[in-house]
């Protein structure tokens, strides 16, 4: 068995504030001990003192600073029971026999002195005297108090500005230092490549980089050179940062991790200084890996929108990064990993070979990869043994790895809410509905007329999608408010790599089915189709201007795939072409709307039947549509996959 590595002894941190506290306690103690006084139990009023004086029990009176009188009782009188507290021992065990035994506030000194003289004339034997006491320690402390306060405030501000002296991420003295977190073999990084499901191609390339750092001779003996960098590109939540964490866990070399925003600072030159410091640290610990997450924060293309010079600092940071990546030699064994979901806006100089030699695309997982991801995230959960991971994968088309992790966590929360011992299939289905559609809001106040409109709107979508070959068939419809919508429908999408014209047109027609149903049934339309209109307009514009699927515009695209358009503030087409584009977009949308109207008029009776059924039950499923419309004639052997299509009624209400 391998011996466990001994964890290094943690250094005890001694805060300077303890020192400040001890000094304060010292001064307070000196001031207290300088003030000789008696306890609170032995404080009396002037009338009590007069009674002691008239009883001839007072031996001596000492007036301090003309305000406080200290009274010493005669020895024989002190032994009486009424003076028991006055003769009691202090906390050190000493008996208070010599006094003073009592003290009180004098008040008017002249009147008090007159009373003492009168008692003397009456034959009462006692002594009295006046004394001025100076607390030198307190006076010295008070005299130096402003200076002490100034020094204390200065020390506090300097410590704050220097980041407390604990890390290189200070604000003044360490402002140019790198904020990168260092992970090495001693760090507690538990994520490995086993925890990264799917992403086989990306893992293979990253593993090769790790292997290069571990065994460089394996590659250099053949004349190969270490790659300068690798860029992880992909949509949010696909596992780019997780892949980098796995590299940190697998690589037995120093791993510097930081975000692109860590270079950004309000002071000029700070970003470039931090880049220099980062690469200096990496070179000192080479072989090493540098990981920059969200590199688009500093790697955007230079020269764009730089009319006021506002992004000079960011450009300086980028220039320094370019210099460092191209400047260090091949023998330093430092590799830069970066992640972004905005590769289209990155500078061309950053993307060239010799800097980021490899671009690793991390795409959304397919069916097989989703199943593997589910297996990883189901490990910590107590799930039903009958749960089928392939079924769960089919339920979540288009989900990223982060979405799947969220589904698993949400299903566990739902099961716990229902006091279940294990998470079952229905909990996962509820979790998918919760994440995609939002939380059900059954207590939301909706008028009967609005509810009827929503029912026919959703029934219109369901009817048209059921009748069209390439539209996604319905799985579930609800008119219970959910999330930001007043109704929602789940459909069965087909996972396609390419989309044909007829498929896009059928989807647009099904999307417009809700507004078309309102027009046919009520003879008027509402604002409820807002998001439907946004969706179809975006699709129609993409057909005309991006995919070249319009006969009149032709096989032309105006899509800038690198995000570094040379057109500036002008459109890449003339005003005449812009007018044609608008006309063609309008024609496509209106044609599909008329098509939806025609289909719904043809099946108006069944549409009404479906809407009434929806009003009655509030939630209907695929079986209800089969009982009303019959089976789809072009239906294939379909697996049950769900994708939400939210009704825009809620958004329409907000915009109305």
C-alpha of 508 from chain center? 36
Output Rg (C-alpha) for the chain, integer angstroms: 41
In order, the DSSP letters of 222-283 are: TT----SEEEEE-STTSSHHHHHHHHHHH-SS-EEEEEGGGG--SSTTHHHHHHHHHHHHHH
Cβ within 8 Å of residue 405, ≥6 positions away: 373, 377
CB atoms within 10 A of CB 438: 17
Report the relative pairing of strands 288-293 and 255-259 from DSSP bridges.
parallel
Q: Single out the catalytic residue among 458, 507, 584, 641.
A: 458
Cis before residue 287, ω within 30 degrees of 0? yes
The 3-state secondary structure of 597-639, one letter per residue:
HHHHHHCHHHHHHHHHHHHHHCEEEHHHHHHHHCCCCCCCCCC
> By C-alpha distance, which of 347, 329, 236 is closest to 286?
329
Left, alpha or beta for 269 (phi > 0: left; psi -120 to 50: alpha)? Answer: left
C-alpha angle with apex 323: 321 to 325, nearest 5 degrees?
A: 70
Task: Give dist(CA 536, CA 542) in Å, integer.
Answer: 10
Tokens describing residue 379: 């490990």
Distances (CA, A) of 516 to 34, 181, 288, 530, 652: 94, 57, 62, 13, 16
**Residues of 560-570 as b/e, b for ≥16 C-beta within 10 angstroms?**
eeeebeeeeee
C-alpha angle with apex 608: 604 to 609, nearest 5 degrees?
A: 115
Tokens describing residue 514: 């809700």
> By C-alpha distance, which of 540, 566, 539, 545 is closest to 557?
545
Cis before residue 606, ω within 30 degrees of 0? no
Tokens describing residue 348: 């061309």
> By C-alpha distance, which of 266, 248, 63, 24 is closest to 148?
24
State the number of CA atoms in the 13 A half-sphere of 194 facing the CB. Answer: 3
C-alpha of 255 from chain center? 23
Task: Give dist(CA 173, CA 175) in Å, integer.
Answer: 6
Task: Give dist(CA 13, CA 306) in Å, integer.
Answer: 48
Find where tokens 């039947």 sit. 609
> By C-alpha distance, which of 224, 330, 334, 231 is closest to 278?
334
Task: Give dist(CA 196, CA 239) in Å, integer.
Answer: 8
Task: Give dist(CA 577, CA 76) in Å, integer.
Answer: 120
Task: Give dist(CA 277, CA 274) in Å, integer.
Answer: 5
110 annotated active-site: no
> By C-alpha distance, which of 360, 361, 372 is closest to 399?
372
Task: Give dist(CA 88, CA 69) in Å, integer.
Answer: 20
Contact in structure between 52 and 70 (CB atoms under 8 Å) = no
Task: Give dist(CA 273, CA 263) in Å, integer.
Answer: 9
Task: Give dist(CA 320, CA 328) in Å, integer.
Answer: 12
Active site members: 458
């Amino acid at each position: 068995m391998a011996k466990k590595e001994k964890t290094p002894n943690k250094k005890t941190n001694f805060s300077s504030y303890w020192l400040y506290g001890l000094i304060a306690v010292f001064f307070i103690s000196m001031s207290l001990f300088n003030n000789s006084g008696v306890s609170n139990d032995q404080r009396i009023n002037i009338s009590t003192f007069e009674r002691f004086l008239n009883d001839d029990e007072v031996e001596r009176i000492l007036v301090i600073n003309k305000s406080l009188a200290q009274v010493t009782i005669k020895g024989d009188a002190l032994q009486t029971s009424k003076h028991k507290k006055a003769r009691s021992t202090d906390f050190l065990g000493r008996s208070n026999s010599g006094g003073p035994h009592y003290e009180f506030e004098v008040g008017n000194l002249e009147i008090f002195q007159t009373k003492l003289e009168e008692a003397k004339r009456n034959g009462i034997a006692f002594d009295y005297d006046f004394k001025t006491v100076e607390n030198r320690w307190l006076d010295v402390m008070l005299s130096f108090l402003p200076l002490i306060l100034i020094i204390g405030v200065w020390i506090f501000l300097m410590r704050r500005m220097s980041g407390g002296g604990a890390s290189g991420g200070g604000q003044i003295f360490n402002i140019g230092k790198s904020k990168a977190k260092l992970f090495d073999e001693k760090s507690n990084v538990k994520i490995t490549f086993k925890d990264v499901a799917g992403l086989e191609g990306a893992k293979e390339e990253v593993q090769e980089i790790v292997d290069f750092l571990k065994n460089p001779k394996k590659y250099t003996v053949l004349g190969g050179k270490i790659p300068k960098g690798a860029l992880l590109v992909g949509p949010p939540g696909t596992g780019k940062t997780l892949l980098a964490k796995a590299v940190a866990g697998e690589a037995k070399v120093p791993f510097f991790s930081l975000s692109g925003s860590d270079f950004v600072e309000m002071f000029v030159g700070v970003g470039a200084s931090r880049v220099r410091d980062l690469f200096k640290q990496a070179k000192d610990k080479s072989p090493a890996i540098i990981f920059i997450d969200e590199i688009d924060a500093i790697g955007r293309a230079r020269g764009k929108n730089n009319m006021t010079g506002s992004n000079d600092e960011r450009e300086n940071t980028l220039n320094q990064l370019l210099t460092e990546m191209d400047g260090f030699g091949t023998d330093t064994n430092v590799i830069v990993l970066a992640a972004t979901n905005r590769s289209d806006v990155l500078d061309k100089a950053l993307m060239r070979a010799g800097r980021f030699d490899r671009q690793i695309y991390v795409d959304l997982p397919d069916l097989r990869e989703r199943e593997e991801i589910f297996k990883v995230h189901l490990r910590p959960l107590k799930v039903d043994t009958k749960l089928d991971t392939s079924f769960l994968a089919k339920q979540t088309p288009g989900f990223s790895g982060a979405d799947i992790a969220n589904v698993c966590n949400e299903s566990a929360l739902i099961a716990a809410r229902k006091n279940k011992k294990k998470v079952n299939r229905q909990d996962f289905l509820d979790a998918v509905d919760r994440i995609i559609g939002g939380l059900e809001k059954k207590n939301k106040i909706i008028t009967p007329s609005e509810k009827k409109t929503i029912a026919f709107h959703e029934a219109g979508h369901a009817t048209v999608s059921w009748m069209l070959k390439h539209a996604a068939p319905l799985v579930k419809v609800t008119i219970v408010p959910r999330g930001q919508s007043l109704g929602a429908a789940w459909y069965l999408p087909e996972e396609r790599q390419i989309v044909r014209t007829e498929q896009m047109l059928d989807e647009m027609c099904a999307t417009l089915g809700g507004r078309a149903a309102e027009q046919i049934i009520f003879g008027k339309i509402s604002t409820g189709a807002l998001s439907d209109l946004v969706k179809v307009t975006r699709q129609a514009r993409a057909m005309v201007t991006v995919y070249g699927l319009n006969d009149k515009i032709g096989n032309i695209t105006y899509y800038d795939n690198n995000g570094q358009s040379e057109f500036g503030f002008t459109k890449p087409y003339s005003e005449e072409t812009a007018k044609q584009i608008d006309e063609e977009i309008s024609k496509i949308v209106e044609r599909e709307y008329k098509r939806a109207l025609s289909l719904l008029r043809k099946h108006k009776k069944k549409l009404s039947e479906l809407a009434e059924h929806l009003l009655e039950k509030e939630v209907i499923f695929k079986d209800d549509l089969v009982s009303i419309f019959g089976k789809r004639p072009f239906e294939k052997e379909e697996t049950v996959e769900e994708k939400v299509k939210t009704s825009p009624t809620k958004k329409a209400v907000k915009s109305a």
